Amino acid sequence: MSTLSADLRRAAATAPGKEALVAGERRMTYAELDAAASALAARLHALGVERGDRVAILLPNSIEAAIAIYGALRAGAAFVPLNPTIKADKLAYVLSDCEATAIVTDDQLAALAEEASGHAPSVRHTLRAEQATDARGARSCPAASVSWPGGARSRPAPTTTAGPINVDLAAIVYTSGSTGRPKGVTLTHANMMFAAGSIVSYLGMHVHDRVLCVVPLSFDYGLYQLLMCVRVGATLVLEKGFAFPGRVLELLEREEITGLPGVPTIFQVLASAGAGAVAHDLPELRFLTNTAAALAPTTIEAIRAAFPQARLYSMYGLTECKRVSYLPPEQLDARPESVGIPIPGTEAWIEDDAGNRLPQGGVGELVVRGAHVMQGYWNDPAATAERLRPGRWPWERELMTGDLFRQDDEGYLSFVGRRDDILKSRGEKVAPKEVEAVLHQADGVRMAAVVGAPDRMLGQAIVAYVVPHDGAQLQAAVLRRHCAQHLEDYMVPSRVELREQLPTTPNGKIDRRALAEDAAATPAAR
Amino acid sequence: MGDTEVGTGVRAELRAYIEEAFLYLHPDVELRDHDQFLELGVIDSLGFVELVEEVQTRYGIAVDALEITEENFGSLDALVAFVERRR
């Protein structure tokens, strides 16, 4: 029974009373999580959701989000995790693109879900998580029971109840594409089970682990924390975000956290906040993982000083295969800039433009093969063909990462740069075209170009250059506000620079390199 | 709404700063003194980094990582109490 839902069933059968989830004051055991997932699956079936349907999940990190993921899977559906800061236009686009049948959300996000569903005819049901309340109306704790009101127009339950098998679609995870339109990465149970197993093996995760997840479950990094914990029967402590380092340090201690996944922004904040002051109280903390972008050497130093007992893993990956590589922690001193070796059970190498494997030291595109490689982009054969090409065997496809790497003489990989113009800010991918399209919708904008500037906290800060129409009175603050109303938080430009014209290249295109240099040279305004 | 306080001194200074640095992105939000910044979505994790830096430089307070919590930085009320206690 090698499906994600079977992982949960096994964990619940092995240790029903074991703590599966902690969120704020609420705690849930594996037996409770398993029962809650089954209850939601039954509800979805009753509403007519069938095996293979897509169920969108619009929830912050919460017990309900975990139930929704396993409930959708148990119903035989594929889940589509969505960032809760998504705006209505994009949500409608994604729901239509994946032809979601149902959306699972909460009271706070229900209005957004309804607004977007109005433009997505496939969506027949909106379910809102409702925590069980006791007689006095207080939320019961532990909240073993969550009900799912909503979802009108009930249909007869499907006649077939056969569960999914591991070649079935398990999830579609949307990621920014360089065209500015999000692309749906399709992953089967086999893809996700393999990737989770591989990561579990190199981290040495086990049933006694307690992982603190402050990164969103809507992105694969957060999502896999849940999948991996359920795989090994460990405990996942969920936080809605990383706003208060004091809170995170308190949780590390109180919940006896053994693993903390983070991105550079998080580790930078922890380091600069002087986390070292309390680190000696954290004997349980065993591993820290970093991905999305490289840690600055000074941050590595500060983090290791603050958490001397924890092993720090530098990793690299992309949603299209979850993870490519990790650096064994004992190599960190020798190769601080490296993201290591391919994850167990996979291969990765570097090629030149003609497709020849490059010898050590050469710079070229990183190519990946293994059971973690996605099946393609949903509904987008052209984009799929750009990333996946025929592999060693007739049935196999290899992933062209689009990222430039170098390999040292012992095979360790180092990131060199991206081939496309996608930016990475706060560990999230940002397509300049997506931000530019939103800026173009604002009144008075004649031209807009978005570039990245190196930033200690963000990795790259998003900087927008805007040329107004003749006579238009534009204000940077108003344009940032416009962006905040139409883009996820991490895509909103840190700075908007108003110009009378933009530099161009000899063939008349906007000179993005010149703008990036300008952005890097101008000190951050905030 | 309604109970938006004008206030003086620290409260007025901090409200002015928060309006200038964060609230302009959210024209539809009327921030009351006890509203949680995070819940309203007006300040995110990086915003809090800026807010902490502002409090440190403006009032000359050394803020320890453990003190960066909702209880001390989560709302205007919390912020004012923290600054007045530590100044």
Q: For domain B9-86, say whether CATH 1.10.1200.10 is its number.
A: yes
Q: Read off the tokens for B67.
A: 């003190």
**What mean pLDDT do residues B51-71 have?**
89
Q: DSSP secondary-structure letter at A294?
A: P
CA of A483 to nearest chain B CA: how many angstroms apart?
9
- pLDDT tens for each residue of A241-270: 888 888 898 899 999 999 999 998 888 888
**Which residue in this structure is represented by tokens 């969108």?**
A56
Q: Provide φ and ψ at B15, rounded to 5°.
A: -65, -45
Omega within 30 of 0 (cis) for the link into A182 = no
Secondary structure of residue A132 in the 3-state scheme = coil
| Contact assignment for B69 to A244 by CB distance below 8 Å | yes
Residue ranges of alpha helices (H) inside A118-244 are 189-203, 220-232
Q: Provide φ and ψ at A230, rounded to 5°.
A: -65, -40
Nearest by Cα to A319 from A243, A414, A216: A216
Q: Are A112 and A91 in contact (CB under 8 A)?
A: yes
Q: Read off the tokens for A324.
A: 């490519």
> How would residue A95 be classed by pLDDT, with cut points 50, 70 and 90?
very high
Interface test with A, best of B37, B57, B64, B67 (most A CBs within 10 A): B64
> How would residue A152 be classed by pLDDT, with cut points 50, 70 and 90?
low
| Contact assignment for A249 to B38 by CB distance below 8 Å | no
**What mean pLDDT do residues A398-420 have?**
92
Q: Read off the tokens for A247.
A: 């809170």
| A198: CB partners within 8 A, 6+ apart | A323, A343, A344, A345, A346, A372
Residues above pLDDT 90, as percent of chain A: 73
Interface confidence (ipTM) of the complex: 0.77
Measured distance CA(A386)–CA(A381) in Å, rounded: 9
pLDDT at A525 over 70: no
Taking CA–CA distances from A243, the nearest residue in chain B reads: B45
Interface test with A, best of B55, B69, B79, B86 (most A CBs within 10 A): B69
Residues above pLDDT 70, as percent of chain A: 92
> How would residue A137 be classed by pLDDT, with cut points 50, 70 and 90?
very low
| pLDDT value of residue A156 | 53
Q: Are A248 and A291 in contact (CB under 8 A)?
A: no
Tell me, what amino acid is at A241? G
> How would residue B25 be classed by pLDDT, with cut points 50, 70 and 90?
confident
Mean pLDDT of chain A: 90
pTM of the model: 0.88
The domain locations on chain B are: 9-86
| Contact assignment for B65 to A489 by CB distance below 8 Å | no
Secondary structure of residue A235 in the 3-state scheme = strand
Nearest by Cα to A337 from A392, A297, A292: A297
- pLDDT tens for each residue of A268-309: 888 776 655 555 578 899 999 999 888 888 889 989 888 888
| Contact assignment for B45 to A241 by CB distance below 8 Å | yes
pLDDT at A140 over 50: no
| pLDDT value of residue A340 | 97
Q: Read off the tokens for A383.
A: 């984009």
**What mean pLDDT do residues A516-526 have?**
76
Task: Spell out the domains of chain A, with CATH numbers in brackets.
Answer: 4-212 (3.40.50.980), 334-418 (2.30.38.10), 423-521 (3.30.300.30)
Secondary structure of residue A398 in the 3-state scheme = strand
| A302: CB partners within 8 A, 6+ apart | A271, A272, A275, A276
- pLDDT tens for each residue of A359-403: 888 899 999 999 999 999 999 999 999 999 999 999 999 999 999
